[in-house]
Amino acid sequence: MSNDMNHHIKIYRNVFIGLLIFTGLTVGASYIDFNLIWIGVTVGLSIAFFKGYLVAANFMHLNDEKKLIYMILGMTIFFFVVLFFMPTLWNSNELKSPDYLPIQNGEGINKIDHNNNHSHGDHH
């Protein structure tokens, strides 16, 4: 075998060992009782990030790419984080639904005012 082939085999072996270690960390972290859920999620996503990096950088050969690919990957990570925290923004009412909800044929449904104290028979 050529030196180049031996070099690739060594890299793939090291990546395989790294993936085994991080998989062991994932299993080990699943047995830890984190007091706060966000800490457990952060630990799990951090381990998954490093495993994904190993696969993308070596098996997909992204470590040999130009800077443009890293900018695109950075934007992907940014939008992932935005989408990940979007339900949190909904629960804290940072994202509001519109007052006018469109339906078919140009008609719309107005948002129901739940603070209105009028009964159904009142015509004030």
**Domain boundaries defined on the chain:** 3-95
- Answer for the pair 29, 50: CB distance below 8 angstroms, yes or no: no
Closest by CA position to 84, among listed 49, 59, 124, 117: 49
State the pLDDT at residue 96: 64
Q: What is the DSSP string of 71-104?
A: HHHHHHHHHHHHHHHHHHHHHTT-S---SEEE-G
Query: Comparing C-alpha atoms, which of 70, 36, 44 is closest to residue 56?
Result: 70
According to the model, what pLDDT value does residue 8 have?
Answer: 82
pLDDT of residue 13: 93
Residue 16 three-state SS: helix
What average pLDDT values come out for the chain (124 residues) when binned by 10 residues? Answer: 78 93 94 89 92 87 76 89 80 62 62 54 51
pTM assigned to the model: 0.53
Placement of tokens 């690919």 in the chain:
69
Q: Is 61 helix (H, G, I), strand (E, B) or coil?
A: coil
- Alpha-carbon dihedral sign for residues 109, 114, 118, 121: positive
* pLDDT score at 28: 94
